[in-house]
Structure 1
Amino acid sequence: MKNSFLAAVILATASVAGVSAIAAPAPVTVGGAPMYATKNIIQNAVNSKDHTTLVAAVKAAGLVDTLSGPGPFTVFAPTNAAFAKLPAGTVATLLKPENKGQLTTVLTYHVLPGKLSATVLRMMIKAGHGKAMIKTVQGEELTFSQLGRRIQITDAKGGKSLVTIPDVNQSNGVIHVVDTVLLP
């Protein structure tokens, strides 16, 4: 009782003084690195050891400036392990300068305009009676559904990916880490 009274006095004093006594939430850790909501998508992604392939692909496609821009964007970020699931040689082929257009198509298929949290995606799935179809920046749709407590994404080819780390907030949107590369 004494501690709760003291806490109430501290909060009341801080409020009167115009100071917030409530600390900001701790950053989410992705790939061994903290992801800060005050940094943009690129500033955070380059620090994740689990996203080095994605970062290399974004650089090769010339999308660094776009994803560093104001957005907001919702990015479904495949891990290195997700890229490793692709057939042998696929990543190396996509990273070649002559395949920049195809690489850009694949990467922008992982981006939605606006900032959609996992909660909003779940509400859209519920409103759609178990499915939500959302148009990507690339122009085609992804299909979202629930698989237990996780969000599942189905691409145009019928491939399925799970959101493994939702709601990694950025200054220009949100990242949801996924376990499989989505293909238009």
Structure 2
Amino acid sequence: MSNLQRLVYSSRATFAQVQDDSGINREVARILMQSRRNNPRQGLVGALYFGDGNFFQCLEGEAEALDEVCERIRQDSRHTGMKVLGRHPIKSRSFSVWAMKFVPNAMQVQILLVSRGLTRFEPEKFDESTISAMLTLLRQGADADLLQVDASGNRRSGNRLPEPVAATASGHSGRTAMLFGAAALVVIACIAWLVLGG
């Protein structure tokens, strides 16, 4: 009998906020590589967002596997203040094609924060509605195309991670993504203008 569950948690990074040339923190890249290697062995899938030094992660799988990964995260010195934001039974996986989908610092997340009157990405303070909206953004967001990272955190050129079909079949060309980004900036500016009293 299946005992599928969805776990959503937040935690704070203990490592320095140093980004490489692509704008992705090296330690976050290492965590992604480990997750993408280890999660399939445990039948886990999920998505990760990292912003303002905070992790927001959704994991889906069997309850026992989720218990094991939770314990590993709690013992991982790269995290502190782990807080379970939700854990519920599910009928099917939302992120079934991703061992660990990574949505980079998305404009949509900034729009969400502004719309909720938030100035920083602090998921431990999110209410249920904001958590749900964040999960929707993770489902809809494009997966980052990360290059392989070696043990010392250096990127290896030419060795891309395997990409699921869903990550590349969104139908968004680079030009469309650029136009969407520009439109999102206009929306953020308008929301900020309204929130700050115009």
TM-score for both structures, normalised by structure 2: 0.30
The structure whose Rg is larger is: 1
TM-score for both structures, normalised by structure 1: 0.32
